[in-house]
Amino acid sequence: MVPLIKEILAAPPDRREVLVRGWVRTRRDMKNLVFVEIHDGSCFNGLQCACDGIPVPPGLTTGASVEIRGTLVPSPAQGQAVEIAAASITLIGEAPGEEKNGIPPYPLQKKRHTLEFLRETPHLRGRTNTIGAVTRVRGRLAFAVHRFFQDRGYHYLHTPVITGSDAEGAGAMFRVTTLDPAAPARPQGPAAKPDYREDFFGRESFLTVSGQLEAEAYAMALSRVYTFGPTFRAENSNTARHLAEFWMIEPETAFFHLADNMDLAEDFLKYCLKTILEECPGDLDFFDQRYQKGLTGGLRAAAEAAFTRLTYTEAMGELEKAAAARPGRFEFAPAWGRDLQSEHETFLTEELVRGPVIVTDYPKEIKAFYMKLNGDGKTVRAMDVLVPRLGEIIGGSEREENLAALEHRMAELGMDPDRYGWYLDLRRYGTAPHAGFGLGFERLVQYVTGMANIRDVIPYPRAAGRLY
Ligand code: 4AD
Ligand code: MG
């Protein structure tokens, strides 16, 4: 195979003959010398090719695809050990720099483009330094996720994308239907709900918000499982940390209690951070310089120190103290029973602790139906991992494994037990304590890269009002 640029850059300048393929990032014309910088996405840096006295095709400008033959020589330029002394250079395909038949030239020119502009060309933005680096880090992280769980005896489980159950009870689901929206069957008249018995599955169906419930079923069979797949939420939240389609990693472990679950989450996050610090130093340096000063130091510190653990009640106490010390500092007044707002998460992670925080034992009213009730009857064994810059990155809990307690909670919430018959079966037949959590993969990529907007850490972001 033709070597990748990352391999060429690591080779000694021993005048070996090389063939390089990639895309022109810049071209500089001197007298009879032309310097062309080629990228192939294999690493952050490009490869400089010096074309001395050889013909260079005129259309060979930014964005062009090229094939270069030459020899690997020491580079006199700063910041690179080797370059190519080109013997021949060939333009592949059309010259991208010219307007033709009203089709504009290649939109990504040498200058720096805003991230907003790049989002409008998702098919081309992978060729920029920023999105290229994000994409490499994302791929390494995904591999690290599998390695972490596989090394610990977890089985990778594929949970369904189309589902009939609402795992989070949050009610923000995308409907899956083959009914004609213009003329769905409405036997009770035009104002009635469509008759979903006529629908593809003979009942209502949705895109999954989480694979947790199915993972619980398999944890009760294989002891340790994890999912890593796409999840969907029709939340209309246009924020820098919400997507309508995102990837989630959900481990579920039999015989685990909340403290075991917290240990697993902490080990897992630290493992991901260490992997990227080790494997992607070039990309991280770039993010550190360009997007988030001190990024690498912060990640290294988080990977080393123990995460602070606070109960929700303790966290609320700290927030109330901070609010009393400086009235008006929070837009939303903290009070026991209310959910943590992002400004509260920022206070906890960036001021109080200055690092990741695990908050546990939330009031049952603000958490999902499946969480195990504590002895106080008021709080559940929930755990959220909060990190600086982002807030919540992981949400999880010990599950209610007691049949009567779960049925009681579902009745309180007005849930239809018939729709969760199989889930209740798990408590009828061989129930056991178990716990798990969900890590939003894009939030992890944001945390590691320092990217402010979640739309810049997934190749094709889907968010309310935007199908890029
Ligand atoms: O806290 P959540 O809603 O928890 C669950 O879905 C549980 N079933 C997980 C479990 O216990 N197995 O979501 C988990 C994580 C959040 O902490 C967040 O990182 C991410 O998923 N997340 C989102 N990421 C991007 N866009 C969204 N709209 C997200 N909603 C949640
Ligand atoms: Mg959550």
Model confidence pLDDT, tens digit, residues 137-158: 999 999 999 999 999 999 999 9
The pLDDT of residue 109 is 82
pLDDT of residue 394: 98
For the CA of 250, the closest atom of ligand 1 is: 12
Residue 168 has pLDDT above 80, yes or no: no
pLDDT at 191: 72
Q: What percentage of the chain reaches a pLDDT higher than 70?
A: 99
Find out whether the beta carbon of 399 lies less than 6 Å from any atom of ligand 1.
no
User: What domains can you pick out in the chain, each with its CATH number?
Assistant: 5-92 (2.40.50.140), 127-159+219-456 (3.30.930.10)
Pocket test for ligand 1, best of 210, 359, 393 (most atoms within 8 A of CB): 210
Distance, CA of 89 to CA of 83 (rounded, Å)? 14
* Any ligand 1 atom below 6 A from CB of 440: yes
- Mutational pocket test of ligand 1: of 248, 397, 448, the residue with most ligand atoms within 8 Å of the beta carbon: 248
Do residues 219 and 435 make contact, with C-beta atoms less than 8 angstroms apart?
no
Q: Which residues are CB-contacts of 25 (< 8 A; sequence separation ≥ 6)?
A: 37, 38, 39, 46, 62, 110
CA 415 to chain centre: 31
Q: In which residue are the tokens 């001395």 written?
A: 52
Asked if residue 113 lies in contact with residue 62, where contact means CB atoms within 8 angstroms, the answer is no
Write down the pLDDT at residue 170.
Answer: 64
Residue 413: closest CA among 446, 379, 366, 380: 366
Separation of CA 81 and ligand 1 centre (Å):
45
Q: How far apart are CA 399 and CA 406, in angstroms?
A: 9
Both tokens assigned to 442: 């894009």
Q: How far apart are CA 401 and CA 258, in angstroms?
A: 13
Mean pLDDT of 219-245: 94
How many angstroms separate the CA atoms of 468 and 449, rounded?
22
Please state, in angstroms and rounded to a whole number, the distance separating the CA atoms of residues 424 and 407: 8
pLDDT band for position 182 (50/70/90)? confident
How far apart, in whole angstroms, are the C-alpha atoms of residue 240 and residue 38?
33
Which pLDDT band, with edges at 50, 70 and 90, does 406 fall under? very high
pLDDT at residue number 171: 64
pTM metric for this prediction: 0.96
Distance 394 CA to ligand 1 centre (A): 7
Q: State the Cα torsion 266-268-273-276 to the nearest 10°.
A: 180
- 443 CB within 6 A, ligand 1: yes
pLDDT tens-digit map of 337-359: 999 999 999 999 999 999 999 99
Q: List pLDDT tens digits, range 425-439.
A: 999 999 999 999 999
Is 80 exceeded by the pLDDT of residue 194? yes
Task: Taking residues 290-297, report their average pLDDT.
Answer: 97
Average pLDDT of 246-254? 98
pLDDT of residue 188: 73
Which atom of ligand 1 is the closest one to the Cα of 394?
Answer: 17
Report pLDDT for 78: 85
Please tell me the least confidently modeled range out of 75-79, 163-167, 279-283. 163-167
Cβ contact 119:459 at 8 Å: no
The answer to whether the CB of 333 falls within 8 A of the CB of 237 is no
Which of 88, 94, 52 minimizes the C-alpha distance to 69? 88
Q: What is the mean pLDDT of residues 82-87?
A: 97
For residues 345 and 318, the answer to whether their CB atoms sit within 8 Å is: no
pLDDT exceeds 90 at position 236: no
CA-proximal residue: ligand 1, atom 4 (nearest): 395
Higher pLDDT, 187 or 336: 336
d(CA 447, ligand 2 centre) in Å? 16
CA distance 356 to 388: 6
Rounded-to-integer distance, Cα 20 and Cα 458, Å = 28
Q: Is the pLDDT of residue 442 over 70?
A: yes
| pLDDT band of 244, cuts 50, 70, 90 | very high
Residue 212 Cβ contacting ligand 1 at under 6 Å: yes
Average pLDDT, the chain: 95
245 ligand 1 Cβ < 6 A: no
Neighbour-count burial for 131-158, b at 16+ CB within 10 Å, e otherwise: bbbbbbbbebbbebbeebbeeeebeebe
Task: Name the burial class of residue 444, with classes exposed (0-12), middle (13-18) and buried (19+) by CB atoms within 10 angstroms of its CB.
Answer: buried
How far apart CA 284 and CA 400 sit, in angstroms, is 41
